[in-house]
Structure 1
Amino acid sequence: MERSVVREQAVANAGVHMMSTSPRRELIRVGVVGLSARGGWAATAHVPALAGLDGYELRALSAGTAESARAAGKKYAVPLAFGSAEELARSDEVDLVVVTVKVPHHLELIRPALEAGKMVFSEWPLGADLAQAEELADLARRKGVLTAVGLQARSAPPLRYLRDLVADGYVGRVLSTDMLGSGWIGGATYDDDYAYVLDVTSGATLLTIPFGHSVDALTMVLGEFREVSALIENLRPEVTHVTSRAVAAKSAEDQIAVTGVLESGAVAALHFRGGTSRATAFHWEINGTEGDLVVKAGLEQWWYGGTRLYGARGDEDALTELPVPARYQRSLTQWADRSAEPACGVAHEYALLRDQATGSLAPDEDGVPDFRHAVRRHAMLERIREAARTGRKVTLAEHGG
């Protein structure tokens, strides 16, 4: 089938087609790999996130065929529709390539964008394994391009406020932290869209996605691990299709229990269960010498947004909710009342990436997690698998974990 670029008439739709209102900031022209007319993560999170941001223009998209690209271009009012990621990467009208496809395809679709010298925003996990992540990070370093990986919890206002509360001594010296989560994937059933996560080699598992997002947030707030012990089990080796009731083999894990010591000396315990729980979707406690902090969420994919913070310290006997100060919203005040939407965390990461790319990031503010950060997190997960496989405690700091 023809794979040449297809130009569509842009539709004047302010909710989809973004234009900057700031004369001082040059537009970052975005091309999304994997934006489909049938929906999906790109449509659910990236399109709305970009729509509400100054400084970006959703300029292009690519799909598996020219026909599907045309359909998506028409639906989302994107003027340039390409039949392949390679064509999109070569376009002079794209500054930032966003890759939103399934993990097993990341390597082949990110590589052309880096080779073309483009900025790249990849969903997490970066690669199907550590070796792929290292290859992409090395290529990005050699090309000297700005990169971002979709660990959006790091950009979310509640998590940045939580980190500051801990750093400012709200709980005193941190003694321990406990995190309990339900994985959403790894349950008793599956559907066609997520059949690929049954295979542990896909790179999209309970460990890499729900646990990976969560442990990255924990380390952002409390610091990295010094050592860990782990149990990783597949207690449901067979699962059932939600409609056909066909039974399929599953090699990916559905139970993860990790205990360890942080570099600060605090003790940490994390337990993630496959599927959903009637009791707890996500619960995270931080206990210290002077107080306690709690993060709660009603959604298994808690890093999407909608988290609430609670705390108590000193003589206070009961936890109370801690509203996030307005300053943590940066310029994204339109998301203040939409924090539970999947696009909210993504929007905040885009805002940081924009400020980083334009040199307007505040001197005391860290930027987005990049491909080098992704490698460190992939390395950590590999060491956790090693701990589970060997039954031994492993150290992390010397291995980039």
Structure 2
Amino acid sequence: MPLSQQPPVRVGIVGLSAKRGWAAKAHLPALRRLNGFEVTALSASSADSARAAAEKYGIAHSFGTAAELAASDEVDLVVVTVKVPDHREIIEAALAAGKAVFSEWPLGVGLAEAEGLAALAAERDLHTFTGLQARSAPLVRHLRDLVADGYVGEVLSTSMVASGRGWGAEVPEGSAYLLDRSTGANMLTIPFGHTLDGLISVLGDFDEAAPVGAVTATRRREIKDPRTGDVHRPDVADQVVLGGVLASGAVASVHFRGGQSRGTNFHWEINGTEGDLVVTGDHGHLQMGEYTLAGARGSATERTEIAVPEHYFEPELAELRGTDAYNVGAAYAQLRRDLADGTSVVPDFAHAVRHHRLLDRIERAAAA
């Protein structure tokens, strides 16, 4: 059956709040602009909170728990947008109910938890998707094609320096949990993890047979919350340096810093035998925000800006271009095609495990 003739995917969002949050900022706007999806249900921290959100957004069904949402006959796809420590229980309930699952990244608190969730999904032969949406960004997809088509020739090396925005001098509102290693949500797993997956989507995986070098450090030992005056003592890295070799043989280096710099906040170079490509932006969260691509090749000595062709953009998401919701929407558009065509372009839980494994490898290298 053609995609346009298939019934809409009925979506239940776990963590959609009437007050704030990533689900309201990115997932709901994206889903409501795409054909083929219908948001039919939500769950929140309590039944009252869920009812308030359902009334605000005009959603038919609200549930006080994620397990109730997953069990609903009105839901085909469970979307998990809550904090990482709550992922496992929610995903297990959704998989037990036989539902497809879209989970925000990171998939779990550490490698072992992610492996367990991927194994359960594989055992039940269910569709899974992970929100590593940097690779859905039009610029990143165009960059991948430029490299594959030989714009730079053979890739010799790639280097990146980036700022994490958070993990700087102050604690953003509601973000103290990002300073606690036990939550699994920190600079290494979130912006570094998202952006590193974007790099891999363009240039390929790191060579599993070659060692990686890594340094992590917590340079800000006390961080103040300007609203409350509370002082937090983080146990997560605000400096991450990675050096390694990709499967292609290209050498890669990445330096991620907490906070914002008065200098460079995002600069990514890809250097090859025939040319160079450079991506710049104002922060290191490649999964969101606006970036500029420039390049030069052959006899050219100066870089020129390279526009992303229109065919890399989803027409239905035109109103969201330039917002944090766009790349989430692009991932959902591909997710719909994956479900219809049997493809697996959007990262699944198995992919998430491979990425968790790489981050675990980096942490172990830094600790050695």
TM-score by length of 2: 0.96
Instruction: Provide the rounded CA distance (Å) in 2 between the counterparts of 1:236 and 1:210.
Output: 18
Q: 1:11 corresponds to which residue?
A: none
Instruction: Provide the rounded CA distance (Å) in 1 between the counterparts of 2:125 and 2:173.
Output: 38
Deviations 1:294-319 (A, max 9, x none): 11222442311422211110111211
Shift of residue 65, structure 1, vs aligned partner: 1.0
Shift of residue 339, structure 1, vs aligned partner: 3.0
Q: 1:237 corresponds to which residue?
A: 221
Instruction: Provide the rounded CA distance (Å) in 2 between the counterparts of 1:336 and 1:314.
Output: 35
Equivalent residue in structure 2 for 1:348, among 330, 333, 340? 330
The question of whether the paired residues in 1 share the 8 Å contact of 2:133 and 2:327 is answered with yes
Equivalent residue in structure 2 for 1:222, among 203, 219, 223? 203
1:194 and 2:172 aligned: no
Aligned residues: 364
The question of whether the paired residues in 1 share the 8 Å contact of 2:195 and 2:285 is answered with no
Higher RCO, 1 vs 2 (CA within 8 Å, ≥6 residues apart): 2
Shift of residue 340, structure 1, vs aligned partner: 2.1
1:327 and 2:308 aligned: no
1:208 and 2:189 aligned: yes
1:136 and 2:114 aligned: no
Deviations 1:16-74 (A, max 9, x none): xxxxxx85121100000000000110000001110110100011000121100000001
Shift of residue 270, structure 1, vs aligned partner: 0.2
Equivalent residue in structure 2 for 1:58, among 9, 34, 39? 39
Q: 1:339 corresponds to which residue?
A: 321
Q: 2:339 corresponds to which residue?
A: 357
The question of whether the paired residues in 1 share the 8 Å contact of 2:214 and 2:363 is answered with yes
1:297 and 2:281 aligned: yes
TM-score by length of 1: 0.88
Q: 1:49 corresponds to which residue?
A: 30
Instruction: Provide the rounded CA distance (Å) in 2 between the counterparts of 1:337 and 1:176.
Output: 36
Q: 1:179 corresponds to which residue?
A: 160
The question of whether the paired residues in 1 share the 8 Å contact of 2:162 and 2:283 is answered with no
Q: 2:239 corresponds to which residue?
A: 255
The question of whether the paired residues in 1 share the 8 Å contact of 2:192 and 2:285 is answered with no
1:89 and 2:73 aligned: no
Q: 1:73 corresponds to which residue?
A: 54
Instruction: Provide the rounded CA distance (Å) in 2 between the counterparts of 1:333 and 1:318.
Output: 33
Cα distance change of structure 1 residues 286 and 336 upon mapping to structure 2, 3 Å threshold: farther
Q: 1:12 corresponds to which residue?
A: none
* 1:8-23 equivalences in 2 (<5 Å): none
The question of whether the paired residues in 2 share the 8 Å contact of 1:137 and 1:372 is answered with yes
Instruction: Provide the rounded CA distance (Å) in 1 between the counterparts of 2:60 and 2:138.
Output: 33
The question of whether the paired residues in 2 share the 8 Å contact of 1:185 and 1:205 is answered with no
Q: 1:315 corresponds to which residue?
A: 299
Cα distance change of structure 1 residues 145 and 383 upon mapping to structure 2, 3 Å threshold: same
Shift of residue 192, structure 1, vs aligned partner: 4.5
The question of whether the paired residues in 2 share the 8 Å contact of 1:306 and 1:339 is answered with no
The question of whether the paired residues in 2 share the 8 Å contact of 1:305 and 1:339 is answered with no
Instruction: Provide the rounded CA distance (Å) in 2 between the counterparts of 1:343 and 1:291.
Output: 33
The question of whether the paired residues in 1 share the 8 Å contact of 2:34 and 2:317 is answered with no
The question of whether the paired residues in 2 share the 8 Å contact of 1:122 and 1:150 is answered with yes
Shift of residue 244, structure 1, vs aligned partner: 2.0
* Gaps in structure 1 of 5+ consecutive residues: 1-21, 391-401
Deviations 1:107-129 (A, max 9, x none): 11111001111010000000011
The question of whether the paired residues in 2 share the 8 Å contact of 1:32 and 1:62 is answered with yes
1:154 and 2:129 aligned: no
Shift of residue 360, structure 1, vs aligned partner: 7.1
Instruction: Provide the rounded CA distance (Å) in 1 between the counterparts of 2:12 and 2:121.
Output: 18
Amino acid at match of 1:385: E
SS in 1 for 2:62: strand
The question of whether the paired residues in 2 share the 8 Å contact of 1:31 and 1:88 is answered with yes
Cα distance change of structure 1 residues 279 and 170 upon mapping to structure 2, 3 Å threshold: same
1:111 and 2:89 aligned: no
1:372 and 2:353 aligned: no
Deviations 1:175-215 (A, max 9, x none): 11011110122112114411111111211111101110111
Amino acid at match of 2:25: T
Percent identity for Structure 1 against Structure 2: 53
Shift of residue 354, structure 1, vs aligned partner: 0.5
SS in 1 for 2:13: strand
Q: 1:3 corresponds to which residue?
A: none
Q: 2:367 corresponds to which residue?
A: 389
The question of whether the paired residues in 1 share the 8 Å contact of 2:30 and 2:328 is answered with yes
SS in 2 for 1:193: coil
Instruction: Provide the rounded CA distance (Å) in 2 between the counterparts of 1:302 and 1:281.
Output: 11
Instruction: Provide the rounded CA distance (Å) in 2 between the counterparts of 1:338 and 1:97.
Output: 23
SS in 1 for 2:121: helix
Cα distance change of structure 1 residues 338 and 84 upon mapping to structure 2, 3 Å threshold: closer
Cα distance change of structure 1 residues 255 and 23 upon mapping to structure 2, 3 Å threshold: closer
The question of whether the paired residues in 1 share the 8 Å contact of 2:164 and 2:283 is answered with no
The question of whether the paired residues in 2 share the 8 Å contact of 1:59 and 1:78 is answered with yes
